[in-house]
Each structure stands twice: as structure tokens, then as C-alpha cells.
Amino acid sequence: MRSAVLPEQTAGSRPTLEAVAARAGVSRATASRVVNGGAGVRPPLVDKVRRAVEELGYVPNHAARTLVTRRNGAIAVIIAEPEFRVFSDPFFEQQVRGISRELIAYDAQLVLLWVEGPGDHSRIARYLGGGHVDGALAFSLHHDDELPSVIRRARVPAVFGGRPFLPGGDGEPRVPYVDADNRGGAREAVRRLVSLGRTRIAHIAGPRDQTSALDRIAGYHDVLLDADPELIRQGDFTAESGARAMAELLEHRPDVDAVFAGNDLMASGALRVLCERGRRVPQDVALVGFDDMRTVVETVDPPLTTVRQDIEGMGRLMVRLLMRVLDDHGANGSRTGSPASVITPTTLVVRASA
């Protein structure tokens, strides 16, 4: 229950609305109106107040405002430690950037919540429950992640990045999310390989406890209805796992003539193994990745054909979706129909590898 032990702030008493009002020769109420847009105040007074604000260097006290309006103009972005590749992963960089940019448009602040291991959830819950933020954005998590339930219990409006594993339908409230069309993208990737005349198309799958990986597997099966199970190998989204999977593949199915990797990192690992074993890409084996990670896709040889998603756009969408949820909550008091999730399209980017 103890709280912030931070020492007192220094800023030598900033001017208050009262001071502005006095200087402008109006009441505090009028000054407040002007500061908040100036609707319903006659121009001359608006000017006077504006000038007073300028001269005094007045900046509204956020705490006081929050106290009465019950909104605080801040959104939490929750990053779970298990996914701490977040920062090294350009995926997150772009997503957070999109979020940041969009939040600026809404004049809202980004509060970064970094979950330090499972024991840290109570801290997050406390913070979320403390009403410090108007809403939360979290990222798609693993199957057994408690974060969704922590967020739900804190009763804070939230939007997920990436489709979360959720009970789905047994009375649990659905949390809206923004995700790329992983399944459709995977279909496009595999169709590309089919159109090249490949018949033994393998898939190096991502970890089964992430929906993105599952969806990509599903897309693969959509096109290859009766795919040989032996052609599907398990990876974990790292380059090494891609290399391992490729090695297995070549061992069990040396006749493989195409590979759809669950992401670019795994594709790069697979590519390395293919080179080592003397297979030419794309002549002997065609290769498609997923994500269009700049740092990978163009530095490998040959450049990787892959599926692109608008990551920054997804970040922006998360914010917009959250704002809509908050609007609904505010307006009707309760849910205005379940807020729809958004699936953003993907595009196949053809380079040399397939």
C-alpha cells in the first residue's frame, strides 16, 4: 500500500489558473474555458486570457485536472519480459513508434510498463487498478500468459497487438485486438510457391503457443490440404531453429523443392543450411519468409521473398481502436456492442528467393 517514495518536486510554484484569471481580469471559470478551447467566450476576453497565459507561462496542473475529470490522458503499453526480444526486434520498434505517433495525435501519453517476470503481475495489476491510465495496450502473448486476465481483472479497457489466446465465447469478455492477416499472408506465400511449379513444399513453423504461428500454419494447410506431415517442421522463430529444421527436412525429405518459413529469421537460418548443403536457392529450393524484416531480408543472399505487414500501421490502429473502446465506455456507460478487432492485410513481396 505504500506508494511513491520520490522526493518532492522542485519546480518553484508554477502559476495557477487563479493567477491567469486575475491577470486577465476575468473569473477562474472563464479562464478555464479559454484554456480548454475557448468555446462560448467572447473574442476580446479570449485574447486577454491567452495573453495572460503567455505572459505567466501558465501550464495546467495535470493532477488537478485529472482529479475532477477522471481522465488522465495516458495509455499504458505493457511489455512482458518473456518477450524481451521486443527491443531488439524491429517489429516492436515499429509498432511502438506507430503507437507513439498516434498517441501524440490524441494528446495522450505513453506509459511503459515492463513486466519483470511472473511475480511482477501484482505490481502491474496495482498500477492498472490505480487508475493511472485510461487504457492499456498489450502484445500478443504466449498461451499461458496471465497478462490478459490481469488486465481484465483491473477492469481497464485494453487492446491487444496480435490475436491473444482467449477462451473465446464462454462468457469471457472478448478483448479487441489488431493483427495482421497471418493466415491470408501464409496462403499467398504458399500459393506463390505452388505457382512456381513446386510440389514438395515444406513449412518451418513458429512456436505453437503463439497465435501468429498457428495462423500461418493454418494458411499453409488452406492451400496444401493434404500436406505431408513430414514436410512440417517445428521452429521457434529464431534463426538457429530455422537452420535446425532445415537440416532435419533435408535429411528426411531430400526431395523438398520449396520452403515456407514462419518468419524471416527462420528463413535466414534455413537459407544458410541450404547453402551449406549445396542447394541453390531458388533453383533447387525456393524459399519464402514472413515479416519483411529489413535487417534480414535484403542482407541475405539471395534477397528473400517474404510477406509484408504494415507494422507501424498496426500500432496506430491499436491506439485508434482503444480510443473507440474508451469512447463507447464513456458514452453509454456500458458496452456498445463488442468492439470489433481489426485484421490488417499483408502483401507478398517478391524478391529473388522464390
Binding residues among 116-135 for a copy of itself as defined by CB under 8 A: 116, 120, 123, 126-127, 129-132, 134
Subset of 35-74 contacting a copy of itself (CB under 8 A): 35-37, 50, 53, 57, 59-67, 69-74
The amino acid at residue 59 is V
Q: Give the shortest CB-266-to-a copy of itself separation in angstroms.
A: 16
Q: Give the shortest CB-95-to-a copy of itself separation in angstroms.
A: 10
51 makes contact with DNA (CB under 7 A): no
End-to-end CA distance of the chain: 59
6 makes contact with DNA (CB under 7 A): no
> Under 8 Å CB-to-CB from 107, ≥6 apart: which residues?
73
Q: Considering the complex, state which of residue 22 and residue 86 has its C-beta at the smaller distance from a copy of itself.
A: 86
- Cβ atoms within 10 Å, residue 300: 20
In whole angstroms, give the CA distance from residue 222 to residue 314.
25
Cα dihedral sign for 202, 204, 208, 212?
Answer: negative
Provide the pairing of β-strand 306-309 with 346-349. Answer: antiparallel
347 makes contact with DNA (CB under 7 A): no
What, of a copy of itself, DNA, none, does residue 116 touch, CB below 5 to 8 Å by kind? Answer: a copy of itself
Q: Is 301 in contact with 144 (CB distance < 8 Å)?
A: no
What, of a copy of itself, DNA, none, does residue 289 touch, CB below 5 to 8 Å by kind? Answer: none
Whether the bond between 164 and the residue before it is cis, its omega within 30 degrees of 0, is no
Query: Which residues make beta-bridge pairs with 287?
Result: 259
- Selected from 25, 167, 254, 330, the binder of a copy of itself by CB under 8 A is 330
DSSP states of 205-264: E--TTSHHHHHHHHHHHHHSTT--GGGEEE--SSHHHHHHHHHHHHHH-TT--EEEESSH
Subset of 176-195 contacting DNA (CB under 7 A): none
Q: Kindly determine how many residues on this chain lie close enough to bind DNA according to the rule CB under 7 A.
A: 26
CA 150 to chain centre: 18
Subset of 84-113 contacting a copy of itself (CB under 8 A): 84, 86-88, 90, 92-93, 96-97, 100-101, 104, 106-113
310 makes contact with a copy of itself (CB under 8 A): no
22 makes contact with DNA (CB under 7 A): no
9 makes contact with a copy of itself (CB under 8 A): yes
In whole angstroms, give the CA distance from residue 245 to residue 239.
10
Residue 206-245 contact track with a copy of itself, rule CB under 8 A, x = bound: ----------------------------------------
* 337: DSSP letter: S
- Selected from 23, 41, 159, 217, the binder of DNA by CB under 7 A is 41
Q: Considering the complex, state which of residue 129 and residue 345 has its C-beta at the smaller distance from DNA.
A: 129
Q: Which residues sit at the interface with DNA, rule CB under 7 A?
A: 3, 13, 16-18, 25-30, 32, 35-36, 40-42, 45, 58, 60-61, 64-65, 67-69
